[in-house]
Amino acid sequence: MVHICSVRASHLLVKHKGSRNPKSWKDPNGTAITQRTKEQAIAILQGYKTQIEGKNATFGDLAKQHSDCSSAKQAGDLGWFKAGQMQRPFEDATFALKVSYRSVLCLCCVKTHNHIHNPALH
């Protein structure tokens, strides 16, 4: 059995009005984010999933354009991290992925306390 010590992952983050910090690089005042429900955030991610599966866009391109995380500048790349460094639901989902697997393709939206994520393991 192999024990994974650290992973490198990317994500596409869609914040909503229940987010701890309802602002982002593309919505600095939180105008759109504070109007978005959790259900709407999930629907937005479902739309991204459809675009990726239809080969109309790549995960990285969508993350660059639409992610509410500053990692958008790196196509959603969060870099390497160890257990205990991310919010637990996101971390659990990320560590459970196979290498080079994108959870967006299996319709796995990870709900943390504050955000909706789609992780991808490098």
Within a domain: residue 24?
A: no
Full residue range of the structural domain in which residue 58 is found:
7-19+30-121
In a domain, residue 1? The reply is no
Tell me how many domains the chain contains: 1
Is residue 2 domain-resident? no
Burial of 45 (0-12, 13-18, 19+ CB in 10 A): buried
Q: Residues 8, 79: contact at Cβ < 8 Å?
A: yes
Using a cut of 0.85, tell me whether the model's pTM lies above it.
no
Structure tokens at 11: 């994500």
- Is 89 contained in some domain? yes
Token output for 67: 């992610």
pLDDT given at position 6? 80
Instruction: Tell me the per-residue pLDDT of 78-110, one tens digit each, with 9 for 90 and over.
Output: 888 888 888 777 788 787 777 766 564 333 444
Q: Look at the block and give the residue holding tokens 């958008």.
A: 72
Q: How far apart are CA 51 and CA 84, in angstroms?
A: 32
Looking at this protein, which amino acid is placed at residue 21? N
Q: What is the CATH number of the domain that holds 92?
A: 3.10.50.40
